[in-house]
Every structure is written in C-alpha cells, then in structure tokens.
Amino acid sequence: MINIRNVHKCFGDLEVLKGIDLDVNKGEVLSIIGGSGSGKSTLLYCINAIENIQKGQIIVDDIDVHAKKTYQDKLRQKLGMVFQQWNSFPHLTVLENAALAPRIVKKLSREESIEVAKQELEHVGLGDKFDVYPTKMSGGQQQRLAIARALAMKPDYMLFDEITSALDPELVGEVLDTLRLLREDGMTMICVTHEIAFAREVSDQVAFFNEGIIEEMGTPEQVISNPQKETTQKFLSKVL
C-alpha cells in the first residue's frame, strides 16, 4: 500500500507539489491526469525517491521513503518505473537490458536472470527480439522493453510516467495493451497519463492534478464522466 501525506516539493522557489494526499491499495490502479506542469510526474519521482521532498511523508508498505534511515536503493526494487522517454540501455541487447538488474541487484544467477528476463519479454510480446539492440526497435517496442525490464525485478508496484506521450500515434495501442495485461495480472499501478479514455477504462481511481494540488479525485465515473469542479471540466473539454 502506498500512502502519501501532505507532500510538498519545491524546485528552488517554485513549489511544484503543494500538499498531496493519496492512498493506493494493493491491486488498485490509480491514474493521474492534469495539464503539464501540474506536478503529476514529479509525484512519481518522489514516490521512487529519485526526487526528495520538502515536507510530508510517502509511505510504501510501512517504509517511510524519505526517512534518513531508509535504504532507497533497496526500496526501489519494490517500485518499478517506466519513463516517457523509454531510456533503454543502448549498449545492451534487449535480453541483457531486462536481465541486468535481476542479476546485479537481486543477485540471481546468470541462468535465473535470463530466465526471468525471457519470461517478461515474452509477456510483453518481445519474444523474438532477445538479441536485438534496442536502438534498432520502434518506440513502442522500446517502451514495452522498458516495461519488461521493470517487471523482471518483480516489483510490487509499477509507476508509469506518461509512457505513451513520446510515441507515434500508431504505436500507442500496443503499449496500452501491455498495461491492460498488467491490470489483469492484478498489478498495483500509478499511471500518469494523457490517455483519458484509457484512464477511464482501467482505473479504480482517477486524480486530477492542477497546479500542485489534487483538484478532484474519485472513480473514473465521478472524475472523468461527471466532473464537479470547473477546472476539471475545462481540462477535460480540452483533451477529450
């Protein structure tokens, strides 16, 4: 379970998150929508401790992410993350991309790590690409590789940061299909996304971010189909 309490985050003088409260239960899918600069990606980086926070608390399975005594490298094994720019490792083959972290971080044997990597790659439909270098693949394929690479660590949670925003339109579908698969597997996910239709379809909760606060939150029916706040209505009318 992820509990977020009154989180504030500043970059210099600019306060990007102004008191965020959120809870995500095991097996739930939370989608975060909102305009650019609203702080939604920053929150993901804070959950993963890639960014620090100035105030508040983020608790993942009873571990305070930003406490001094927390061993963040270890904690990140619980939290898989996929980025807008897929960030594949260009000097490694697809298989090595997915097998590296299980081997060096989880200390699996070479055979075990390759086994896990192959399973996850097949799961996302890259079973025929093991020996290919990522730069030779399409953005959609690289993004699916990034998902498989994160899944190979067997995380308890997956954080998705606008993972379809940098893709050509015709490649968005294959990546969303992969997320639907994960949803069926019962993976707990936080998706920062601009795919409103997708968010409505898969989410248990939707949060609308506006200028560093959660403007509106609830089920997809409440927030997307029937928004109460004017800012939410305005945003949705622009993107839908």
Partner 1 sequence: MDYQFHWNIVFQKMPEMLQGAFVTLHVSVLSMLIGIVIAVLLAIVKMNHSKPFCYVAIGWIEIARNTPALFQIYMAYFGLGALGIHLSPYVAVLSALIFINAGYLAETFRGGFMSIPKTQYSASKSLGMNSFQVYRYIILPQMFRRIYHPMTNQFVWSILMSSLGILVGMGELSGETQRLQSLSFRTLEFFIVAAVMYFIITKLVLFSSSLISRKLFRGEI
- Which residues here bind partner 1, judged by CB under 8 A? 45, 48, 50, 73-74, 76-77, 79-81, 83, 85, 87, 89-91, 93, 100-101, 104-106, 133, 135, 146, 149-150, 153
* Residue 1 CA: distances (Å) to CA of 42, 50, 61, 206: 19, 19, 5, 17
Which helix (H) or strand (E) segment is 170 a member of?
Answer: helix 169-184
Nearer to partner 1, 4 or 150 (CB): 150
CB of 45 to partner 1, least distance (A): 8
CB of 221 to partner 1, least distance (A): 32
Q: Is 226 helix (H, G, I), strand (E, B) or coil?
A: coil
Torsion of CA 64, 69, 74, 77, to 10 degrees: 10
Nearer to partner 1, 60 or 214 (CB): 60
Contact 219, 205 (CB under 8 A): yes
CB of 156 to partner 1, least distance (A): 12
Nearer to partner 1, 93 or 231 (CB): 93
Longest distance between any two alpha carbons in the chain, whole Å: 55
CB of 136 to partner 1, least distance (A): 8
Nearer to partner 1, 74 or 234 (CB): 74
